[in-house]
Amino acid sequence: MVSVHSEQIIPASVKVLVAGGFGVGKTTLVGSVSEIPPLSTEELLTEASSGVDDLAGVEGKTTTTVALDFGRITVSPRIVLYLFGTPGQDRFWFMWDELAYGAAGAIVLIDTRRLEASFAAIDFFERRRIPFVVAVNHFEGSYDYEADEVRKALAINDSIPVVACDARKKDSSKLALIKLLEHAMSRLPAAEPKVS
């Protein structure tokens, strides 16, 4: 809700999640778009991770998010987005419901070399009817698939936007967020006509 008080506009706060499987670039995206120093909860990958988390494709990864990432971006004087990045490892699933509470929507990042890493995230938002867009994060050596090919591989509806993204780049990440806002707004019920 937007409050206007003696010419001062208090922007609406919109909560957005940045989700997806292990190592798909969630922390990177929150860090690249956030206008405040992002809060992150990175810890070194430990022995507990070996044999559990699939490092294929992200062999250089040494840390992982254990709780959440947090950032903020002002989209307009009327809208401020609060970004919450989810932890990627399966054993932190218990955090997801808490993080998703009150969210307007989610960006689900995918790495096309490891699509299956993001299946559970897609399932999570579909089940809870939380609007989401799929952002294909470009990693070196990954093939550029058409949006329809990605939808088919993920078994998602044609109405779900699929956008290309480089999570390291602010403008690219911002475009994915704008796409999500457009998508979430398109799903809002039309306003009832006023009866006088």
Q: Give me the residues that bind ligand GTP (CB under 6 A), please.
A: 22-28, 58, 60-61, 64-65, 87-88, 137-140, 166-168
Task: Please state the closest distance from residue 20 (CB atom) to Mg ion, in A.
Answer: 9
Contacted by 137, from ligand GTP, Mg ion, none: CB < 5 to 8 Å by type: ligand GTP
Our CB check for ligand GTP shows the closer of 86 and 131 to be: 86
Helix-strand-coil split of the chain, %, nearest 5: 30, 30, 40
Contacted by 168, from ligand GTP, Mg ion, none: CB < 5 to 8 Å by type: ligand GTP
Q: Which residue is nearest to ligand GTP (CB)?
A: 88
Task: Please state the closest distance from residue 140 (CB atom) to ligand GTP, in A.
Answer: 5
Residue with tokens 């990432």: 69
Nearest to 81 by CA among 109, 106, 64: 106
- Give the one residue of 14, 17, 33, 65 binding Mg ion; rule: CB under 5 A: 65
Contacts of 61 (CB under 8 A, 6+ apart): 23, 45, 55
CB 69 within 8 A of CB 82: no
Task: Please state the closest distance from residue 76 (CB atom) to ligand GTP, in A.
Answer: 26
Binders of Mg ion in range 2-41 (CB under 5 A): 26-27
Q: Tell me if residue 58 falls in helix, strand or coil.
A: coil
Residues that bind Mg ion in the complex, under the rule CB under 5 A: 26-27, 65
